[in-house]
Structure 1
Amino acid sequence: MIHPSLRRGSLAALASAAILTLPFFAQPLFAQTEVPAAPQEPIASAEPSFPKPEASDFTADSPTKAQVEGFLHANWGYDTNRLYQVQRIVKTSVPGISSVVILVGEKGNKQTGALQFFTLPDGKHIITGGEILPFGEHPYTENRATLIERADGPSKGAASKDLELVEFADFQCPHCKDAQGTMDKLATDFPNAHIVYQSFPLVKIHPEAFRSAAYGVCVAKLGGNPAFFTYASAVFEGQAGLASAEGATLTLNSAVSKAGLAPEKVEACSKTPETKATVDAGVKLAEDLNVNQTPTLAINGHLIPLGGIPYESLKQMITFQVQNDGAAK
């Protein structure tokens, strides 16, 4: 679910921002045509052809072409079918802000498209499609450091954080429920991953999300991480019960019981100022990282909205991210 305070008026704007990370958002760049019948004789490769860049289109002192290419590699390097070329880096009328144009294509497709973004004076961020995103050859280093320090939700998997997967989720979010199967697969396929569940209740649209998160904090506190993940699985399974306050009480108490804890103790714990502060800190973390929808997965700081990504593509992203970070497998 998209955070209500961060909704945009244009879905195209969101797509433009997300193209930097998500393969399926690149599809609208290319014209859709019917696939012709297979030819009888081999034909020349249908590779995209990019025009030669002009020297006059590189007037900005910063960023350099190498820095832009490093940034694109950090985001797109997992996808061996994607082709791109830095076409323009020019000054704008605002000091320190440069306009960058990238031509994009795919192997086996002559069609090409363009992506434009603006680099900011700090050299660490860009603006594209109404979003501010990290920039640089290793754009997610700061996010990763923040998560290592502040992502303190229940965890499972490896103790090492060489590969840290942080899931930002809302117990009342249907897409988060759907994503749990994906998270279970990742835990199996990446046994070296440190996996953190970070509650991000979207209270403006999910009235029982905060209470569900508070119960989760207390289940983890009283029963440990294994009890929390049993609780979480039960809450997602019974998510329909969260549609009303009375149904939520029954659903949450049932989930607590399945986790082997006493519902009355968890309820009392959930109402304490300490528990509220813990949930609020998780929300603040998500907002500081500009997480604007659930479920979102942070792969060593690289934020990826989980909805609609093919599982094999997600695995490629994770494997590439580890390699690009130089982290031990």
Structure 2
Amino acid sequence: MQSALRSASRRVSAVILAATLSTAALAFAQDAQPSAPGEPQFPLANAANFTAASPTKAEVNAFLNVSWGYDKDRVWNVYAIEKTQAAGISRVVVQVAQKSNPQQISPLSFFVTSDGKHLITNEILPFGAHPYVETRHLLTERANGPSRGAAAKTHEIVEFADFECPHCKAIQPIMERLVQDFPQVHFVFENFPLTSIHSEAEKAALYSVCVAKQGGDAAFYKFADAAFENQNGLTPESSDATLGDAVTKAGLDPAKIGSCSYTAEAKSAVAASIALAHDLQIDETPTVYIDGRPIPVGEVANNQLPYEKLKDIVAFQMQIEP
């Protein structure tokens, strides 16, 4: 986790969710709070640093508890909540450290909007004691792709993926581990073909919809496994054969699935999944949520985050009341 804490220039969502902070550390030589041995010595928070009425320190801590509570090694101190020149926009400064490395204190700052529902850095993200509830409700209502795991949507992991995306292929073993480790979770696959960069992604998505329609969810996942395994064959010259082979491995007729892929019904299903991704402002694949919270599956695939830490995030989020 320490390497994740020190990596720089990531998306802010990764910063909030995986505690990715700047490598620059502040050296506070004076006005340090007394602390127990082995704990970070955060600087005293001066009352002059709290000039904004909203959000309150309690609200900031509630948000950070939801975002970071899975990591028992992480501690933080809300150092400032300040007015800015933009009416209603407050600047929040938080100092973050690890109990295992108390000498390094890293700063994190972001802005909170006047409605108390959004934070801003280089993008806009949800804020508050329940920052993921709206996304959770949207996914519960509209993420209706092929599923596995628990039948009930009490807890739900939704994966947005593109069959031609190398990173989507890389996370499949991790998704399989999550399915095994969390049998009480309802897993959903949503197509999000990135047609501007992947020429065969939409065709693969259409095939997958037809496989699910004709063969059910179990057939879909057999098709998906084969399509990802033979991803190099998703080219204009060989995609028909590659997808046909995946259909055969799913136990269905490639000719029937191919014909189905041209129907308005199949196109409408893929379009609905794409519309959901756009409404969630997803701009990359893979994107994976647990109960509405984005989780850094890609960082596990890239060996930037241990799988056990990902499990901690999932398990922690499942403890939070919707």
1:263 equivalent among 238, 254, 267: 254
Q: How much has 1:91 moved relative to structure 2?
A: 1.2
The offset of 1:175, in angstroms, is 1.2
Q: Give the Cα–Cα distance (whole angstroms) in 2 for the partners of residues 12 and 317 of structure 1.
A: 20
Q: Deviations over 1:231-283 (max 9, x none)?
A: 000000100101x2121111100001111111111111111122112112111
Q: Select 2:17's aligned residue among 13, 21, 24.
A: 21
Q: Which amino acid aligns with 1:88?
A: A
Q: Does 1:286 align with 2:277?
A: yes
TM-score normalised per structure 2 = 0.89
1:226 corresponding residue in structure 2: 218
Q: Which runs of 5+ in 2 are unaligned?
A: 1-6, 27-35, 301-305
8 Å CA contact 1:291–1:303 kept in 2: the answer is no
After TM superposition, the structure 1 = structure 2 runs for residues 1-80 of structure 1, keeping only pairs within 5 Å, are 14-23=10-19, 25-26=20-21, 28-30=23-25, 45-80=37-72
Give the corresponding residue for 1:324: 320
Contact 1:175 1:294 in 2 (8 A): yes
Contact 2:25 2:107 in 1 (8 A): no
Q: Give the letter for the 1:165 counterpart.
A: I
Residue 113 (str. 1) matches residue 106 (str. 2): yes
Q: Post-superposition shift, 1:30?
A: 5.0
3-state SS of 1:148 partner: helix
Alpha-carbon distance change, 203 to 30 in structure 1, aligned in 2, over 3 angstroms: farther
CA distance, structure 1, for counterparts of residue 308 and residue 12 of structure 2: 23
Q: CA deviation at 1:72?
A: 0.6
Offset, 1:306:
1.6
Please state how far the C-alpha of 1:131 moved relative to its aligned partner. Answer: 1.1
Q: Are 2:310 and 1:314 equivalent residues in the alignment? A: yes
Q: Which runs of 5+ in 1 are unaligned?
A: 1-10, 32-43
Deviation at 1:292, TM superposition (A): 2.5
Q: Which residue is equivalent to 1:184? A: 176
The residue that corresponds to 2:31 in the other structure is: none
Relative distance call for 1:141 and 1:89 in structure 2 (3 A) is same
The C-alpha deviation readout for 1:187-221, integer Å capped at 9, x for no partner, is 11111000001111111111111111111011001
SS in 2 for 1:308: helix
Identity rate of aligned residues, in percent? 50
Structure 1 residues 145-193: Cα deviation after superposition (integer angstroms, max 9, x where no partner): 0000000110001111111000111111111111111111111111100
Closer/same/farther in 2, CA of residues 27 and 107 from structure 1, 3 Å limit: farther
Change (3 A) 1:29 1:289: farther
1:5 corresponding residue in structure 2: none
Alpha-carbon distance in structure 1 between the residues aligned to 2:164 and 2:242: 12
> 1:293 offset after TM fit, Å?
2.1
Q: Distance in 2 between matches of 1:50 and 1:320?
A: 26
Give 3-state SS (helix, strand or coil) of 2:17's partner. Answer: coil
How far apart, CA to CA, are the structure 2 residues paired with 1:273 and 1:173? 25
The structure 2 residue matched to 1:97, chosen from 79, 89, 102, is 89
The residue aligned with 1:84 is: 76
Counterpart for residue 4 of structure 2 = none
Instruction: Tell me the distance in 2 between the aligned counterparts of 1:287 and 1:29.
Output: 34
Per the alignment, in what secondary structure is the counterpart of residue 161 of structure 1?
A: coil
1:213 partner SS: helix
User: Does the 8 Å CA contact 1:203/1:210 hold for their aligned counterparts?
Assistant: yes
2:148 corresponds to which letter in structure 1?
A: K
Kindly provide the amino acid, as one letter, of the partner of residue 137 in structure 2: A
Residue 297 of structure 1 deviates from its aligned partner by 1.2
Partner residue of 1:125?
Answer: 118
RMSD, aligned α-carbons: 1.7
Mapped to 1, the partners of 2:118 and 2:12 lie a distance apart of: 15
Distance 2:312 2:296 in 1: 15
Question: Contact conserved, 1:45 with 1:108, CA < 8 A, in 2?
Answer: no
Q: Give SS of 1:325's match.
A: coil
1:280-325: CA deviations, max 9, x gaps? 2111211211223211210000012421232101110011001123
Distance 1:45 1:209 in 2: 55
